[in-house]
Amino acid sequence: MKSSFIAFALFFSATLVFGQNNPFFNANLKKKEFKDVRKNMVFGLSPFHFFDNSISVSGEFFSKSYKKSVRLALTGIYRDNKRLSDKGFAMELSGRYYPKSFECDSMVWGRNMASGIYLGYGAQAGLNEYIDFAFQYYDPIAMKDFSIERKKTSIWVSPFVCFGYQFTFYEVLYVDVFVGGAIKFNNVDRSTPVIGYDEENPNIFQREYKGIMPKIGFTIGLGL
């Protein structure tokens, strides 16, 4: 994971260093003909969501000037086996502002590209039902273990802000990475009393978490 992050950081730095506006390469870049590879709409997929038993797809719609865009993301959550059931969905609506627009660029190795740094803002809302069919707990009064079915339903709203960088690759592929922060307001309904430390103190990766949390994303897209 650490090596992958370093490799991505180096590639990210290269796109900034060797971009169209770098004066060191300006003389060579002027000799190249720039091809406008920008698309009005980008269909995206977030690969990291697969590790959380979910799938997230998105659509980003650019303005004519490519300085603004609207992004809609839909997420489906599904896990159903003998012990656990985890189902739900979420919808995210956000706006993006590109200070210098999502502009055409060209890398020193000769590929026509487009790239842009943006400020994003928006909110996510979702619903989740989590069932543990065989939750084990110890009753200190009866002095023995019990097994019960535990159900939790979460309904949340999470506004956020973020900074991101998006660029094209091979003209039709888009790579988008962003980082920011969010605050999650969550209404959790439990079918059984709160049992255990993890229930009283959920972390940011659990569905029932409430509070401030990081907003990090990575999306691979296709320009349409």
Cβ atoms of residues 77 and 88 within 8 Å: yes
Distance CA 106, CA 37 (A): 11
Domain limits for position 197: 38-94+112-223
Domain CATH number, residue 53: 2.40.160
C-alpha 191: how far from its chain's center?
30
Q: Nearest 5 degrees, angle CA 136-CA 140-CA 143? A: 80
Identify whether 11 is part of a domain.
Answer: no
Instruction: Spell out where the chain has E strands.
Output: 41-45, 54-62, 68-80, 84-97, 103-106, 112-139, 144-169, 173-190, 211-223
CA atoms within 13 A on the CB side of 59: 7
Instruction: Write the pLDDT tens digit of every residue in 141-174.
Output: 777 677 777 888 999 999 999 999 998 877 789 9
Identify whether 28 is part of a domain.
Answer: no
Say what percent of the chain tops pLDDT 70: 75
Please indicate whether residue 142 or residue 41 has the higher confidence score (pLDDT).
41
Identify whether 86 is part of a domain.
Answer: yes
Cβ atoms of residues 89 and 45 within 8 Å: no
**Number of domains the chain contains:** 1
Identify whether 106 is part of a domain.
Answer: no
Identify whether 88 is part of a domain.
Answer: yes
Where do we find the tokens 């896990």? 79
Q: What is the pTM of this model?
A: 0.76
Identify whether 152 is part of a domain.
Answer: yes
Identify whether 12 is part of a domain.
Answer: no
Identify whether 66 is part of a domain.
Answer: yes
What single-letter amino acid sits at 128? Answer: N
Instruction: Write the pLDDT tens digit of every residue in 92-117.
Output: 999 999 998 888 875 544 467 888 99
